[in-house]
Each structure stands twice: as structure tokens, then as C-alpha cells.
Amino acid sequence: MSGRDVLWDRLAGGLVPAPEGTVLLGRYQIPPGEHGFALGGATLAPRAYLAVGDEHWTLRRGGERWRGDFGGAPTPEPIVMESIAFVAAKAAEARDAPLSTWTAIPPLVSGVTDRLARYPLENQLRVRFGHLKAACHEPHARLRTEHVLTPVSKARRITWRTVVHLAAHSETWAARRMHGVEPARLLTPVQVADHDLYENRVVATLLDRLWRHVQVRLAEIDKIDLMVRQGRDMVQQAEARLDWREKHRLYAFIAELLMTEDLNGRIEQRRKELTALRDGLALLLTSRLRAGVRGPYTGPPRLRPTNLFDNDVRYRNCRQLWNAEVAARRGAEKPADPVQALAGWCRDFADYSLVLVLRALEQVALAPPDAPGPAAGEPGPAYTYRGRQVRLDRELDDTFSLLLDGEPVLRIVPVPHALTATGDLPALDRHLDALRTPSAGPAAVLYPGEGPERAALPLDRRLAVHSSWGTDGLPRMVPVSPTDLGSTARIARTLRSALDARIMLDYPVSVPCRLSGAEALAARFDWLVWNAGQLTVIRPPAPYELGRLDSALAGLRVRADAARRQGDNTEELNRLRADLHEAADRVTRLTHCPVCPRPAAPAVFVPRDHGTYRCQCQGCSTAWETRRCPRCERNHPVLTVQGLADQRGGEGDRLDETFSQELLAVPCWRRPRSYICTFCGHCPEPARESCARCSADSSRCGGSRAPGLGMGGSH
């Protein structure tokens, strides 16, 4: 393998050598302007995904070859892929539409009403199940001659095979006589029933397909039921929220889902019917027909006419059921080219992720602009947030860049690999290790994941695959799914952690100053501090205080003195005045409430030791502050919303349910008023009372970090 950079790594944001071994589906692309790559017999164009319709892949270019695999099936369940494709199609229709059209697309399971209806195949199965059952238990057979060893007393016929076998196997002899051999057992022909017929192979294959169909349908119903239960939980959460804006958001989000009449009754009815079909089919999987065939039917979908299919009522109904199943498969037929199908899935997931991110930006209370949606390679829509300018750009490699005042604060990388779907821990560990690579700045990985999948993982993996801050060298890991109503809030919390951390940690603001007498300003104004040749703004000044500052600066002016060769300091004074006004404006913008949509909410700003501060909104009582970590000695942001201050922390799914997007640092799992450092993951309470997170590794209490338990988002 050549060591030169040949592929585009969407996570690292640059060219890397072609990987070998286990890789993530959708992480790598063919670099722009590069040609000659082939994958799975198909030629890949520039910007094409490294995606193939098999678990293993071979990438070729000229005489070079690279081989690898995806560590198991990389795609989620069909209901997830179908719903994401539906959302992506809606997003494609809204390419040139206003941003409000994008955010109006519901990122939920598509066609809930249709999925809760009885499918035509299920109607056919209910009508013809009795005939299928009869064919499986009493299948048609033909007689086949087999040779078996039987005692001599029971042997009735012999053939030439009997003599050959007797001569070759002395273990079947009873004794040797003068005239020859006295046999004990003979190989005799017998007639046995042979069920391995064309018609029976068709019925056995039909049985397997019907079993898979019912299993998939039950999984769909379970996903819809889980989503509906999440919606009802959100109703209870909305009733408990004190902020009317959050109540309105939650009610509006789940209104479309819960507006269907008698949703629970329809779910239970369909589950009951499908469970009955599954139980009936389960008994047929061990039937005489299923055990009697030696292989599946591999012929064309259209069956040839036979006497059994035409004249036997059981097999005639089985043929009609086969035709119904074939028609259902054609209705959901996938593209013939597996490479194109998987590449389409990668693009669909990127569009679906963009819809989620746009909805999440509005959910964080960013003022939406009157502009079209993001176009690849062009500046995206610009928002206003806490007095700052925020922009979301869509890059050419299907990643998204979040910029604050023109500076990138987060790269969002949609990776369409279902990391937790297989439950294979070694494969998951390999994927997580591969994600621990340097990237171009802070990054968040969006991937398809389900709550039950994460619940089945050990605690350390569960914390690693769901974190708004990143853990143990990993990027921020954000699982999303159309069956999970918490996906948008989860992304919103990740966006808040990137934006508010950059805004809130921009404190205190210092201005270098070499002007003579400038240190006297700090003694005159309590919102200024002199330190090592710098004037530091520690609180937002009132307008009248800025006016007094201008007067004080005017008193520092020194006119030109030709005799002493001293110049006029007017230029330095003007520069200092502009810098101090800019620093005061930056500190003033810290008083903008991160929850209220007001441009500048009334606030109480209190500077504290070690460059920290606390501020509280007098409108919604939200408090935001910075605290100093005693271990890494870095300041980290903390957000406390009214009504949630007494809530304890926990793993990611608990944070989704309890805090939604209103969270920065995660509270301790035992003491809600203590917060975990978002940089080093230090919990200030392990010496007082241990919890599941801190006791997961005994070295945690000693100050070191256990793998997967690093950052605050994973506490």
C-alpha cells in the first residue's frame, strides 16, 4: 500500500492515506479532482463515498489495492433508513426554498398512519395461513430409494450394493465359515419419503421470507410505540416547565405525532395481530416440510406451473401467497447497484442531519434569518445569538461548519454508520479508537443510533457513544434517529456547548496598554483592573461610566514638546479608547441571556476570583456562570435553568430527558449543585459520595481519568 495521502477524511478535514482494516461507513471520500478509483466493480467519481453494498470492500487504483471491512452490518433498521430517505427527499425539494421551509420538515418516522395499517401481504397471510400450515405439516413427497443397514432377520431385499458393502465392511459380519461369511447386518434398499421437491423448496423459502417480514414489522411497531411514549413523556415535561417558550416548543414538536386518533389502540391492535402471525410462523419453522428440504429456492420470482401448484388447494394458496410476497418486495425494491444504494444512503443521512441541525439552531433560540437554506460550498444562513453573529455553512464534503463572528467553533460530521446496532463490543471499540484522531478543530459526529441499543451497552461504552462534549479523546458523539424524539434537542445541546462555551469563556477581556498614567484608570474605575501592563474589564460598565472613562482619557493627553522631543499621544489615546470600548462591549454581551430571545435581557453580573463570574437573568431567572476546575485549573461554563437546578446528572439519555438543550456542564450524579469540568472530566464530589460514574474506575477518585469517562457530557 502506498503511504501517500489518497483519500479525503471528512472527520479530519483533509487528505489521509487510504485506510485498511475496519473503517466507518461514510467517513472517507474520493478527493476532489481525483479519478481512477474503483470499488466493488464500479468506478468512483470525485467526492464519492467509500461505500459498498457488502461488509467487506476492496478499493483499487491502478496497481494499488486496499482492503477492509465495516466491522459488521453498517446500516440501521429499514424503518430508520426509509424515514431518513423520506426526510432527505423533502429537503431536496426545499433546495431554493426559504429557511422556514427546511425547519418545517418533521424529522420523524414517515407514514406513521400507513405503517399502522395492515399491509396487503398480511391480509393474504391471514386468509391463507391455514393452507400454508397444512402444506408445512403434511407436505407432498415422492418415494426415494435409500440403502440402510438392517439386521439379517429384517432384511427382505438385497441388491448388488449389498454384496459390495458386505465384502468391504467386516464389522457387519457375524462369523466366517468354511463356505464364506455369515452376515450380521445387510445394506438393504428401503423406500423413504423425499420432501425436497421444487414446490416444497418454494414454500420453505416463502416461510423464511414471511418470518423476516413479520419480524421487521414488529420492530417497526415497537419503534413507533417508543416514539409515541417519548411524545407523551414530553407532554409531561412541558407541563412541568416554567418557561412558556419551552412549553410551546415541546407542544408544537409533538402535536403532529399525537394528533392521530386512538394511536395507542391502533399500535396495540397491530402488535397483537403481528404477534399472532409470528407465533404461528414460529411453529412452522420446525415443520416436516422445513426440515425436509435441503436448500432454499433460488430461481426466478415467477414460478413455473406444476401439477401441485395447479391442482392441490394447499400449494395453490401457497403460490398465491408467494405472488403477494413478491409484489410486496417489488414495492420496496432497492437499487440494483449496491454501491449506488449505499452511497445514496450516505447522502440521505447528510441531508437528514442538516434538517436536524437547522431545527436545533432555532431550538437554541437563535433568531432565524429570512434566507434560503444552506448550499454546498457557499456561505450559509447567518443568525443572531447573544449579540453575536452565527453562521452555518455546508461544505462540499457534506459536513457543516458552525461559525461565531466568522471564527469556526464546531465541525459537524454526519457519519451514516450505525455504531451501536450490532452490539459487537470489539467492533465498537475499534470504531471508537479510529475516531480518536486529530481533527480540524472541535468536531461533533452525528450517527444513526437508538436508545435501546445504547441501554444494552456497558456503562463506559454508553458514555463514550453519547456525549455533548467528547470523552477520552473522542469527538462529540451525537446519536440521532427519526424514531428518537430527543435527536433535535441532543444536537441543540451540542450546539449550545460549542457556542456558549466560546462566548462565556471570553472573559475577562484585557487591553494591552503602554500609555503613561494608564494604571491610574484602574484605581479610578472599579470595572477596570491593572495587571502586568494591561487594563482588564471585569464587569460591564454603565453608559455613564463609559462617559467618565472618555473624560479621564482626555486628561491623559500629552501635547507635543519639540524641546524635549516628546510627541503627541493622541493616536495612542484614541487606540486605547477604542480598545476599551470594544472590551466593554464584549463583556456587556455576556449579560445576554442564553435562554430568553431578548437581545439583551436584564441581568446581574458579579465578577469573582480566578477570572470567573456569575450572571442571572431577571426575566426568566436563568443563571450562567464560569467555574474554576480544581484539578486542571481551567474555567468552564455552567448553565442553570429555573426548575432544573435540583436535577442530578447522569448518562446522555437521562440528560436528554431531563435537561433537553438547557445544559452546559453536567451536574454531579449525586449532588446537583456541583458540576463536572467540561475539559478534564473532574467531578468535585468523589471524595464525599461515590456514584456509578466515579466508581467505574477506582483511579477516578485519585485524579486520573478512566477511558470513556472523561468529559462533563459523559458524566
Number of helices and strands (H, E) in the chain?
20, 25
- Asked if residue 219 and residue 241 are part of one domain, the reply reads yes
Q: Is the pLDDT of residue 462 over 70?
A: yes
The neighbour count for residue 47, using CB atoms within 10 Å, is: 16
Is 202 within 8 Å of 322 (Cβ atoms)? Answer: yes
- Asked if residue 128 and residue 245 are part of one domain, the reply reads yes
Strands of 5-9's sheet in order across: 14-17, 5-9, 28-29
Grid cell listed for 438: 486529530
Per-residue pLDDT, averaged over 206-218, amounts to: 95
Q: What percent of the chain has pLDDT over 90?
A: 45
- Asked if residue 148 and residue 127 are part of one domain, the reply reads no
The secondary structure element, H or E, covering residue 439 is none
Per-residue pLDDT, averaged over 40-59, amounts to: 82
Q: What is the pLDDT of residue 562?
A: 42
Per-residue pLDDT, averaged over 455-470, amounts to: 90
Q: What is the pLDDT of residue 218?
A: 94
In DSSP terms, 181 is beta-bridged to 176
- Asked if residue 260 and residue 231 are part of one domain, the reply reads yes
Whether residue 157 lies inside any domain: the answer is yes
* pTM recorded for the entire structure: 0.82
Query: Rounded to 5 degrees, what angle do the CA atoms 27, 74, 413 make?
Result: 30
Whether residue 699 lies inside any domain: the answer is yes
Whether residue 519 lies inside any domain: the answer is no
Q: What is the pLDDT of residue 682?
A: 86
- Asked if residue 266 and residue 125 are part of one domain, the reply reads yes
- Asked if residue 668 and residue 613 are part of one domain, the reply reads yes
Per-residue pLDDT, averaged over 332-336, amounts to: 55
Q: What is the pLDDT of residue 707?
A: 35
- Asked if residue 294 and residue 250 are part of one domain, the reply reads yes
Whether residue 586 lies inside any domain: the answer is no
pLDDT band for 697, please (50, 70, 90 cuts).
Answer: very low
* Helix, strand or coil, per DSSP, at residue 149: strand
Q: What percent of the chain has pLDDT over 70?
A: 87
User: CA 419, CA 113: separation in Å to the nearest integer?
Assistant: 29
Per-residue pLDDT, averaged over 412-425, amounts to: 92
Higher-confidence residue: 694 or 284?
284
- DSSP label at 610? G
pLDDT tens readout for residues 232-272 = 766 665 555 555 555 565 556 666 555 555 778 889 999 99
Q: What is the pLDDT of residue 333?
A: 56
Phi, psi (degrees; rounded to nearest 5) at 107? -85, 50
User: CA 164, CA 300: separation in Å to the nearest integer?
Assistant: 43
User: CA 340, CA 498: separation in Å to the nearest integer?
Assistant: 35
Q: Are strands 613-617 and 534-537 parallel, antiparallel or unpaired?
A: unpaired
- Asked if residue 243 and residue 171 are part of one domain, the reply reads no
Q: What is the pLDDT of residue 672?
A: 85
* Helix, strand or coil, per DSSP, at residue 189: strand
The overall average pLDDT reported for the chain is 85
User: CA 505, CA 586: separation in Å to the nearest integer?
Assistant: 11
Whether residue 471 lies inside any domain: the answer is no
Q: Is the pLDDT of residue 714 over 50?
A: no
- Asked if residue 247 and residue 205 are part of one domain, the reply reads yes
Alpha helices in 525-597 (DSSP H): 543-554, 570-588
User: CA 531, CA 687: separation in Å to the nearest integer?
Assistant: 36
pLDDT tens readout for residues 169-211 = 999 998 888 888 889 999 988 877 788 899 999 999 999 999 9
User: CA 497, CA 542: separation in Å to the nearest integer?
Assistant: 29
Of 331, 363, 393, the last residue of a domain is 331
b or e along 453-492 (b: 16 or more beta carbons within 10 Å of the residue's beta carbon)? bbeebeebbbbbbbbbbbbbebbbbbbbbbbbbbbbbbbb
- Asked if residue 206 and residue 125 are part of one domain, the reply reads yes
Q: What is the pLDDT of residue 256?
A: 58
SS (H, E, C) 14-76: EEEECCCEECCCCCEECCCCCCCEEECCEEECCCCECCCCCCEEEEEECCEEEEEECCCCCCC
Of 331, 360, 377, the last residue of a domain is 331
At which residue does the C-alpha cell 423406500 appear?
191
The neighbour count for residue 711, using CB atoms within 10 Å, is: 27
Into how many domains does the chain fold? 4
CA 261 to chain CA centroid, Å, is: 31
Is 576 within 8 Å of 585 (Cβ atoms)? Answer: no
Of 176, 194, 212, the last residue of a domain is 194
Grid cell listed for 55: 461488509
Phi, psi (degrees; rounded to nearest 5) at 250? -65, -45
Whether residue 529 lies inside any domain: the answer is no
User: CA 149, CA 197: separation in Å to the nearest integer?
Assistant: 26
Grid cell listed for 168: 468391504
Per-residue pLDDT, averaged over 336-348, amounts to: 82
Greatest mean pLDDT among 171-185, 545-559, 685-699 lies in 171-185
- Asked if residue 167 and residue 222 are part of one domain, the reply reads no
Q: Which domain holds residue 18?
A: 5-69
User: CA 294, CA 395: separation in Å to the nearest integer?
Assistant: 53
Whether residue 423 lies inside any domain: the answer is no
Q: What is the pLDDT of residue 688?
A: 58
- Asked if residue 266 and residue 188 are part of one domain, the reply reads no
Whether residue 378 lies inside any domain: the answer is no
SS (H, E, C) 618-644: CCCCCEEEEEECCCCCCEEEEEECCCC
pLDDT tens readout for residues 590-647 = 999 898 867 666 678 999 999 999 999 888 888 999 999 998 999 999 999 988 888 9
Q: Are strands 603-607 and 509-512 parallel, antiparallel or unpaired?
A: unpaired
Higher-confidence residue: 17 or 111?
17
